[in-house]
Structures are given as C-alpha cells and as structure tokens.
Amino acid sequence: MSRIITIGRQFGSGGRELGRRLAQELKIEYYDREILGRIAEDTALAEEYIQNVLERQPHNLLPITVGRSFAYVENYAFQQAQSVYQSQTRILRELAEKTDCVIIGRCADYILRELKPLRIFVYADDESRVRRCMEHRREDEAAVTEKQMLRRIRSMDKERTRYYDFYTGLKWGDKNNYDLCVNTSGKVIKELVPAIAKLFD
C-alpha cells in the first residue's frame, strides 16, 4: 500500500494527534502547518493571510452573481484564494512524490488522489470533542465554557465542510471519500495508532 496518508478530521477529534503519532510510528514525514510556510514562500503572501484563505474564505470571496462559474471572475481576493489553492496543490504533489508522509487536512485526499493515498477520516461525538478541546485550550482561554467550545467546534466543522466541498465537489466527512473512518470517542489515540500502522506491514 502507498505510504502516503491523508488525514481529514473533525475539529477536536484528535485527528492531528493521530496523524503525528502515525508518522512517528511509521518513521515517515509529517506535514501540517509547515505547509503554510511553503505556500507563503511560493505566493509571497503572509502566512496569516494564507491561513485565513485556506481555512475560512474561498466561497465567501466569490461574487454572488458568478456562482460556481470561474469565468470572468475579476474579484481580486477570490483570485488570490485560487492562487493559494493552486500553490497548495503544487506543494502537496511535490512533497508526496518525493517521500512517504502523513498530511493533515488541506483536501490532500482529493489533491493526491492519483497517488492512491490511504485516506483516513477521524471523528468523535460532541462530548469527547468538547472534552478534548477544553483540555487543550490555551491559557488565555481559561474562561471559555463548554457551551462556547461546542459552538466553536460546530463553526470550525462548517468552515471545513464549505472549503472541502467547494474545492473537491465532494462531501466532507462522507465515508465514501475515505478508506478508513476512525471514531475516537472514548478511545486513547495512542492505542489506535499501532493498529493503523499495521496496514503498512
């Protein structure tokens, strides 16, 4: 099996931890936020701006009258979102062709489909996700309540859905787009990793 692994994940499901540990276990590269830096170099845009574009914006940047058609789009912000996405596509392909790796998010399952990656989707129930997010929250977020956290989770998932669906034409989190869907509710992620790694024996 190809040792290129893409990880889609619900916010707070522990998909990032699972991916990181899996890369360690398999002794292969792990790509996550560092891809932003590479896109920044490639496009000469600021990382923060790119993060915003990649995680929140493309569909909003599209002028309403244009809908899904890419013809005659003159909106500058939208064009930039497109060029960020194209840069991301190029970079992901370069990375994956060069070396075995785990890639977190970024429509990598779709972008790299011709390389037949193992496409994993990680999810969990609300309770587990809220608990995980509360445990991992930053110090300056100590006052955030569980209810607020759940709202943030829902909002992040919505953004990921929009972004993924926009660029792939597929449905984010639909099991048919993945080889393996892993529910981390009530599980210890560290204990799941050796099993997934064994797929590559």
**Environment class of residue 34 by beta-carbon count within 10 Å: exposed (0-12), middle (13-18) or buried (19+)?**
exposed
Is residue 196 at the binding interface for its own copies, with CB under 8 A as the rule?
yes
Q: Could you tell me the smallest distance in angstroms from the CB atom of residue 132 to its own copies?
A: 16
Q: Could you tell me the smallest distance in angstroms from the CB atom of residue 191 to its own copies?
A: 8
**Tokens representing 4?**
């290129």
Binding mask 175-194 for its own copies (x = CB under 8 A): xx-xxxxxx-x-x---xx-x
Helical H segments across the chain, by residue range: 15-26, 34-43, 47-56, 58-61, 76-98, 108-111, 126-135, 146-168, 189-197
Cβ pair 1, 113 in contact under 8 A: no
Is residue 159 at the binding interface for its own copies, with CB under 8 A as the rule?
no
Cβ pair 5, 96 in contact under 8 A: no
- Cα 159 off chain centre by: 11
Is residue 122 at the binding interface for its own copies, with CB under 8 A as the rule?
no
Q: Could you tell me the smallest distance in angstroms from the CB atom of residue 129 to its own copies?
A: 12
Is residue 131 at the binding interface for its own copies, with CB under 8 A as the rule?
no
Is residue 125 at the binding interface for its own copies, with CB under 8 A as the rule?
yes
| Residues engaged in binding its own copies (CB under 8 A) | 121, 123, 125, 173, 175-176, 178-183, 185, 187, 191-192, 194-196, 198-199, 201
